[in-house]
A and B are shown apart, each in its own frame.
Chain A
Amino acid sequence: MTNNIKPALETPRQKQNRHKAMEAVKVLNAIKKEFKEPPKAMNYFYDLFEKVYCKQEALHTNKVKIGTMCIQIPSEIIYALDAVPLRLCNGFYTDDEIGSDLMPSKSCPLVKATVGHLASENFSDKPDIIFSPTTCDQKTKAGAIVQNFGYEVIDVDFPRTKESEESREYWRRSVRKFSSDMSKNLNKKLTKKNLKASIQKIGYAQTLYHKLNDFRKNRLVPILGKDMFLITNAFFFDKIDNWIAAVEELIEEVEQRAANQIHAGGKISPRIVYTGSPPIFPNYKIPLIVEQSDAIIVADETCSSNRMFNDRVSVDEWFLNDMIDSIADKYLKGCTCPIFTKNDDRIRRIVDLVRSYGADGVVYQAFAGCQVYEMEQRSVLAAMEKEGIAILYVESDYSPSQQGQLTTRVEAFVESLKNRRRMKK
């Protein structure tokens, strides 16, 4: 494929880009071609990922770019100040390998890939400044490593319990500080007007996501999980207005598909709720295996998708400080991230998703090295067992090697769910 390029002339940067493009193309091709025909409106997203990850095209040339290390950095505030948030969480094996030299060997591949990417300084859209919330240990420490590469990194204090009044206050204060830091940095004032507009715009994007999701509750599911992951993943970096327009169009088409009784799955495809470490492009390994094994992902509980969109901000009186507090609460109180001490909320959430999306089972995926998801596995499995919900726990990383063994396990799980379905009939 690349044998006409003389290796000697290829810079490390080019090589990295080439490898990443190869990873991206492979996954995009699988997403596009190895399933029943996707909605036409998905082409916007396929093209977007191709542009950004295969051709390294920049999207935000004339705006200040704010890198974020986790979902807790409020994009409402970033957009209000006319900057763009770029979520730096990374799914490339190429970057994971670069990061491996900079992090302990048993680290989480997502963090390694993020660090590796930042170490390479090879960006289509390079962040001007990075905000790093103190969520899991690895991300927290990664902030400092990244700073050593010469980036401006600002830590944002995030509490790791969320029940107490103290943590609510603590986080509200953090977000207020974040707002003023941003404001100073960008030399722009946060106003009632621009913040309200931004809250409502993001709220609208979330509303669209909910609308789209509603179709996945149908018995005949018009859109597959792999496409949904791509759509939500695009929100990490896309121009928000384009994203909104594309999803609006997609909803129309999906509505039509639903009316025409188009089913993206097979006759007795089991319905799956996906939870655990976030699938981030192009690491769609497990979701793809699941859906290639003739199951459909109807819902997810991950921070690259549902968790990013589910909770919308409510405001009673649209004053600046009130809005900021509302935003803060949303990012803390509704969050089901496993970094928190107790996490009954996450379990309740998964159970509710299973019920309201009529799912047959849960796939729980943890990155090898993602300690918090690994640690929570037991309690979630026990809770699902109590509820009589079938669940499969798989560990994976970014390497392309273990594919075969994972496939076998997932297929066996899907097969058992199918049998259940058959028996029910």
Chain B
Amino acid sequence: MMKNKIKNIINNMPLNKVRFWIQLVMFILFAYGGYVFIDFGSSIPIFACPYNRETGATCYFMPLQHQLAMPANVLFGAAAISVFIGLLTFIAWFVVLNKAWCGYACPFGTLQDWITALRKKLGIRYSTYSQPQFDKLSKIKYIFLAIVIMIPLLMGIGVLGGEWSGAFCQICPARIISPMFVGDFSQWKIDFSSVAAMILTTIGVLFAAVFFVGSFIKKRFFCFFCPMSALHYTMSDLSLLKLRKDGDKCTKCGDCYKVCDMQIKDIADDVTSTNILRDDCMFCMKCVAACPEDDALHVDILNMRVFSSTKEGFAKRMGMSHLEKNNDQ
């Protein structure tokens, strides 16, 4: 009885509002945690960028690039344990939330959602990619992931020099933008100390500029290209949190696809996979909230259903459970 009640409350929740508040809290934690000595360590699976001096945690790519750049004998010798522990910690964090790190905790992701909210306020409609564009662009994040991993390794064996250090960070728009959270604009510059640094930081500055424009017209513009998201995907099967689908219950109505910020088509069209988490997904659960069929989409912790699509919840969230006096927005 009690259990059913709780279930109902969860399934009927106004997801967008709940998510907004979680994201806000997480943002404060990760963007400003440093002020109150919060530190979740350096293996966090999101873009909590340490270039922001008050960050509450450190993006795993920072130590990862650093470690991979070590000479092979060090990497597999003295440093091996700490590298290994770093990776394990990263996986441990990731296992808890899966890609929901992106949908709920990443300050850089949240920032994009806020830019989206601003656009919405201004009454401007968003854009989408066409399917062929989508298919092409969606691969870019793997190229970035390769940069994260390969360049340091090449440094380690001496093919590339020290000026390539933290190459991806040099490109990463979060390096330039995250410090702005605490009023630090110093990363908006091009580093002329070497040709490599100059090229990388130029790309970085351009990327950061494009970030603002892109996020304004396209929902979660950057996440689509984010190498962290790609890395997540390689491990998503390990996670306890699952995004699942019961294809038999799906009518392919496309409601979920319609609200998906990442334009993931499978969420509606694939009626055979149970695990419906795709590489671009950020586990925002908006699709679950927008699905009008009982239990067609659900979020599970292992095999326990924690949030399910329901007819009733859908009606509540879409303003269809009672006759609305039309309110704007």
Contact = CB atoms under 8 A, between A and B. Distances in A.
B319 A203 contact: yes
A312 B328 CA distance: 20
A149 interface: no
A170 interface: no
Contacts of B286: 316
Contacts of B255: 311-314, 326, 329-330
Contact of B292 (A314, A316, A348, A352): A314
A176 interface: no
Contact of B323 (A204, A315, A329, A333): A204
Given A201-B323, A314-B258, A315-B258, A345 B252 contact: yes
Interface stretch (A104-112, A114-122, A192-200, A229-237): A192-200
A368 B320 CA distance: 39
Interface in A309-324: 310-319, 321-322
A163 interface: yes
A24 interface: no
Interface in A349-408: 349, 351-352, 355-356
Interface residue SS majority, chain A = helix
Nearest to B314: A312
Contacts of A193: 326, 328
A168 to B, nearest CB: 8
A349 B292 contact: no
A210 interface: yes
A244 interface: yes
Contact of A310 (B251, B259, B291, B319): B251
Given A317-B120, A334-B251, A326 B323 contact: no
A170 B298 CA distance: 31
B127 to A, nearest CB: 11
A204 B329 contact: no
B60 to A, nearest CB: 31
B320 A207 contact: yes
Contacts of B329: 318
Contacts, number: 105
Taking residues whose C-beta sits less than 8 angstroms from the other chain, chain B's interface range is 35 or more
Nearest to B319: A200
Contact of B318 (A312, A348, A355): A312
B247 to A, nearest CB: 7
Interface in B125-183: 125-126, 130-131
Contacts of B322: 204
B259 A200 contact: no
Interface residue SS majority, chain B = loop
Contacts of B257: 329
Nearest to A320: B125
A165 B131 contact: yes
B292 A333 contact: no
Contacts of B253: 311, 329-330, 333-334
- Looking at B252, B269, B271, B294, which has the most chain A CB atoms within 10 Å of its CB? B252
A206 interface: yes
B321 interface: yes
B315 interface: yes
Contact of A244 (B123, B252, B271, B323): B323
Interface of B: 120, 123, 125-126, 130-131, 247-259, 268-269, 271, 286, 290-292, 294, 311, 314-315, 318-324, 326, 328-329
Interface of A: 163, 165, 192-193, 196-197, 200-201, 203-204, 206-207, 210, 244, 310-319, 321-322, 325-326, 329-330, 333-334, 336, 345, 348-349, 351-352, 355-356
25 contacts: A165-B131, A197-B324, A200-B323, A201-B323, A203-B319, A204-B322, A206-B320, A311-B251, A311-B253, A313-B318, A314-B256, A314-B259, A314-B314, A314-B318, A315-B318, A316-B259, A317-B125, A319-B123, A326-B258, A329-B254, A329-B258, A351-B248, A352-B248, A355-B248, A356-B249
